[in-house]
Amino acid sequence: MTLMKTLAAATTGLMLLSCAATAQDKGAIKIVTQSPLSGQQSVAGEGIMLGAQLAVAQFAKQLTDMGFQLSLQPENDQATPNVGVANANRILNDPAVLGVVGHYNSGVAIPSSEVYAKDNLAMVSPANTNPAITDRETTRAIANRICGRDDVQGPAGANFATDTLKAKKVYIINDKSAYGSGIAQTFEAAIRKSGANVILSTGMDQNETDFSSILNRARVDQPDLVYYGGTYPQGGLIIKQMRQKGLKAAFLGGDGLDSGDLQKIAGPENMTNAYFTTTALPLSQMPAAAAFAQAYKAKFNKDPEVYSAYGYDSARVVIEAIVAAAKAKGGAMPSRAAVAAAVREVKFDGVTGPVAFNNRGDIASAKYVVIEAGKSADANKIVKVIDVAAPGGS
């Protein structure tokens, strides 16, 4: 089934759900997902949307029993800031929307959340790791995430690079996005402190597909490690072109590489000595993942993507917050501000692990994982799992 057919089917099913009003009709409530549903990053974006859809299907009864009509509204932010902001402005004008699950890209989430904050619309992110998501005062009341942060993930990668890979000469490339440049900066600062020599640190446009200028230079410099801050479509091409040019240096990046499509783009034969860090715990490490994966496969006829479980738990957070805010109002329709405040009080054992927030909107404790990439995503190996409390806040 194509992505657009999947989206159409999801929208149709959710419209039917929203039409199933109880006799005591208190009005429509919408949860919106914002993620890339077209373009190179659509695999990850669809996974977030479908995870949220499954949560709505499983937990909507809490609200329909109270007399509300709950539906999910998928939005395609195209991994583009301007599109995400335009969607956010339109979403803000719909009073039925009480929460947003999104985004996939920090560079889209940061400006979009500034829009949500204008009317206290809560955002729960399944995937945005840039520290600015929760560190800005302007969005402090509404921005939340259930994944980790790059100011922890970047140094974790640097420690692995020096302690395990023994890297002494390093190339650092980023895709100039908020996510890619941010994680590359935190990695660079940490690896410089370790005493490694950063021979090159540069940015490349996200649409670049030919890395010959950098990799030809690398053939002369012979770095021990090439670190990439960016997402899997471009990261896969860098791995492929490194190996085609005979570069045997280790390759390392962040959670933007965490997709089954990484090996498809790079070529399975090129994945030797390739690693990435991620804030998305593999399903094999989630105690509740088996039931989730089974329900996901039954509903969508496909396996979950990397951030599907995080989209699921993010949507559940929004639903639980809406329920709590409605109960606090005697069963009446809650305000957006009340829902946003209720998000910070939500606590449950999710598929991704314990879900609870500090006063900045960061998940209280996040896991960071180092993965050795195999010839396919199924062959990936967990090298290390680190459990870290959120920096700052309480």
13-17, 31-35, 158-162, 286-290: lowest mean pLDDT where? Answer: 13-17
Structure confidence at residue 284 (pLDDT)? 84
Q: Determine the average pLDDT of the residues in 177-190.
A: 97
Q: State if pTM tops 0.85.
A: yes
Specify the DSSP class assigned to residue 307: T
Does residue 137 contact residue 170 with C-beta atoms inside 8 Å? no
Is residue 17 over pLDDT 80?
Answer: no
Structure confidence at residue 160 (pLDDT)? 96
Contacts of 110 (CB under 8 A, 6+ apart): 81, 130, 132, 133, 136, 178
Q: What DSSP element (H or E) covers 251? A: strand 250-253
357 token code pair = 């927030």
More confident: 4 or 285: 285
Is residue 15 over pLDDT 80?
Answer: no
pLDDT band, residue 38 (cuts 50/70/90): very high
Q: How far apart are CA 20 and CA 4, in angstroms?
A: 25
Q: Determine the average pLDDT of the residues in 7-32.
A: 60
Structure confidence at residue 2 (pLDDT)? 46
Q: Determine the average pLDDT of the residues in 292-317.
A: 97
Question: Of 17, 185, 209, whose CA–CA distance to 106 is shortest?
Answer: 185
Q: How far apart are CA 243 and CA 181, in angstroms?
A: 24
233 token code pair = 């479509």
Contacts of 143 (CB under 8 A, 6+ apart): 109, 113, 116, 117, 123, 125, 133, 134, 136, 361
Three-class SS of residue 253? strand
Structure confidence at residue 22 (pLDDT)? 38
Residue 340, CB half-sphere, CA atoms under 13 Å: how many?
21
Q: Determine the average pLDDT of the residues in 157-185.
A: 97
Is residue 270 over pLDDT 90?
Answer: yes
Is residue 45 over pLDDT 70?
Answer: yes
Q: Determine the average pLDDT of the residues in 106-118.
A: 98
Structure confidence at residue 393 (pLDDT)? 59
Instruction: State percent of the chain over pLDDT 90.
Output: 87
Is residue 252 over pLDDT 90?
Answer: yes
Does residue 196 contact residue 168 with C-beta atoms inside 8 Å? yes
Determine the angle formed by the axes of helices 212-221 and 232-244, rounding to 10 degrees: 50
